[in-house]
Amino acid sequence: MDQRTVRVKRRPLGSWRGLPLYLRILIGFALGVVVGVAAGPSAAPLATPARLVLRLLGAIAPALVLVAVVHALLNTPLQGRVGARLAGLLLLNTLVAITVGLLVANIVKPGRHGAPLDAPGAEMAQRADPWAQLLENIPASLLKPLVENQVIGVIFLALAFGIALRLVRDRQAAAGQTDYQGLEGAINTLYSVLIEVLHWVIAIIPFGVFGIVASIVGTKGFGPFQSLGWFVAAVILALLLQAAYYLARIRTGSWVRPGAVLRGVRDALVMAFSTASSTATMPVTYTCLRENVGLREESASMGALVGANFNNDGTALYEAMSALFIAQMIGVDLSLPQQLMVVLTSVVASVGAAGIPEAGLVTMTLVFTAVGLPIHYIAILLTVDWFLDRCRTAINVMGDVNVSCLLDGRTPPKR
């Protein structure tokens, strides 16, 4: 073929998809404001794409959490006492993160500033008894937690299945059998497939943001966004408090000085913020801890490579604060037992959150379902999630750094 006749075929939407997600979301936001102001209350039906995104996120959530946890259990080298110490540190840090988040949300009350959203009606009242809810989350059958989006039940199944599969694999490998390889390969592939599908749903988020912003501005004006500004500030404050807690723990529980840690892992924190992916940042975190901070190999790999698969304190804090924020915005008071339910589900949801952009949104649908908050309210958070995702990812990585330093103990390694 004559070279001169060859035309470069431009893919439709090619340059749109070439833009980073946060830019696409900001464009959606700006267009939404314009259309909302211009169209007024007739923009109300434009909320539909955001509801669609949340339905889809809710649909993949249980499968993704199940497969992500089994995948992490199969691919992480966990052993004995260090493994138990790691699990203890992770749990403590996550509980502190959620407590900090709930305290800040209860004191600042970001959802009470600005115009409220419409209340859900009778739906919440039916779910008022948290102990009955907790019991409901113990799997009654293998499929029920998956079908009814019960995050605690899903994690329960994932742990049982993942640990059993690990044991069977190790036993078979020791006996020279290879039967387990098929299932192991299938789980790794299934994980990649679900992440691929998640990326498709994430690609619709800018359209959802456009629609939800147009619909809110058109029907309620800018009032609800005032609360959103308070929410962003409250989340940042809580994340900073969590960072201060990490540094204080490092100061008292490890030989490394907090200032030296911050300088040493600077690159990892910047990368976490810019990629919004703690998994993508993992190798950089590990290298910073080994080469700049000087931790022992075992502590750096346990915290930054093994722990990173399960440790998402920033995500846990954010999910708990989001549940409270939306409850405040719709004028529903979550009682103390209900807030405990938020704590419990946020802990398990953060364990199941993959270390990729927007994964927290997926598991948030499960936290909302557990306390009976309708998931379509998460739509308003889509507008700021791209930014808060970056902030909470940096804290997720700082959590891994904290655990590595604590595992390294108070005595510096001999050089």
H or E element at residue 350: helix 336-352
The token pair that represents 238 in the structure block: 């809580």
Q: How far is CA 257 from each of CA 68, 250, 252, 282, 293, rounded to the nearest angstrom? A: 34, 7, 9, 22, 9
User: Whole-number minimum distance, CB 321 to ligand ASP, in Å?
Assistant: 12
Of 134 and 204, the one with the shorter C-beta distance to ligand ASP is 204
Work out whether 384 is an interface residue with ligand ASP (CB under 6 A): no
Given a contact cutoff of 8 angstroms between Cβ atoms, the answer to whether 403 and 307 are in contact is yes
Question: Mind giving me the DSSP string for 353-398?
Answer: --SSTTHHHHHHHHHHHHHT--GGGGGGGHHHHHHHHHHHHHHHHH
Q: Which residue is nearest to ligand ASP (CB)?
A: 360
Q: Does 278 bind ligand ASP (CB under 6 A)?
A: yes
- Identify which range of 2-10, 17-25, 204-212, 273-281 contacts ligand ASP by CB under 6 A: 273-281
Q: Which is nearer to ligand ASP, 165 or 232 (CB)?
A: 232
| Binding track, positions 293-312, relative to ligand ASP; x by CB under 6 A | -------------------x
Contact between 60 and ligand ASP per CB under 6 A: no
Nearer to ligand ASP (CB atom), residue 105 or residue 359: 359
CA distance 251 to 244: 10
Residue 328 corresponds to which amino acid? Q
The one among 35, 198, 214, 276 contacting ligand ASP by CB under 6 A: 276
Do the beta carbons of residue 321 and residue 238 sit within 8 Å? Answer: yes
Tell whether residue 136 is a contact of ligand ASP (CB under 6 A). Answer: no
Q: Which amino acid is at 95?
A: L
Select the residue interacting with ligand ASP from 28, 32, 357, 372 (CB under 6 A). 357
From 324, 359, 366, 406, residue interacting with ligand ASP (rule: CB under 6 A): 359
Q: How far is the CB of 277 from ligand ASP (least distance, A)?
A: 4
Phi, psi dihedral angles at 330 (to 5 degrees): -100, 10
- Tell me how far, at minimum, the Cβ of 322 lies from ligand ASP, in Å: 11
Among the residue ranges 24-32, 51-59, 165-173, 355-363, the one whose residues contact ligand ASP (CB under 6 A)? 355-363
Q: What distance in Å separates the CA atoms of residue 347 and residue 243, rounded to the nearest whole number?
A: 18
Q: Which is nearer to ligand ASP, 133 or 311 (CB)?
A: 311
Whether the CB-CB separation of 22 and 387 falls below 8 Å is answered with yes
Count of Cβ atoms closer than 10 Å to residue 51 Cβ? 16
Tell me the two tokens of residue 255.
Answer: 């030989």
- Contact by Cβ (8 Å): 365, 150: no
Q: Which stretch binds ligand ASP (CB under 6 A): 224-232, 257-265, 331-339, 387-395?
A: 387-395
**Selected range binding ligand ASP among 13-21, 228-236, 249-257, 388-396, rule: CB under 6 A:** 388-396
To the nearest 5 percent, what fractions of the chain are helix, strand and coil? 80, 0, 20
- Judged on CB neighbours under 10 Å (0-12, 13-18, 19+), 161 is middle
Task: State which residue, 285 or 393, has the beta carbon closest to ligand ASP.
Answer: 393
389 binds ligand ASP (CB under 6 A): yes
What is d(CA 194, CA 177) in angstroms, rounded to the nearest whole number? Answer: 29
Binding of ligand ASP by 393 (CB under 6 A): yes
Cβ 7 to ligand ASP, closest distance in Å? 39
Q: How far is the CB of 152 from ligand ASP (least distance, A)?
A: 19
Alpha-carbon distance of 364 to 360, in angstroms, equals 6
Q: Is 322 in the site for ligand ASP (CB under 6 A)?
A: no
* Residue 277 contacts ligand ASP per CB under 6 A: yes
Token look-up 């679900």 returns: 194
- In this complex, which beta carbon is closest to ligand ASP, that of residue 21 or of residue 33? 21
396 forms part of the interface with ligand ASP (CB under 6 A): yes
Q: Find the shortest distance in angstroms from Cβ 338 to ligand ASP.
A: 22
Least spacing, CB of residue 221 vs ligand ASP, in Å: 30
Nearer to ligand ASP, 28 or 355 (CB): 355
Residues 6+ apart with CB under 8 A from 130: 335, 337, 338, 340, 341, 371
Least Å from the CB of residue 334 to ligand ASP: 21
Q: Which residues bind ligand ASP (CB under 6 A)?
A: 276-278, 312, 315, 353, 355-360, 389, 392-393, 396
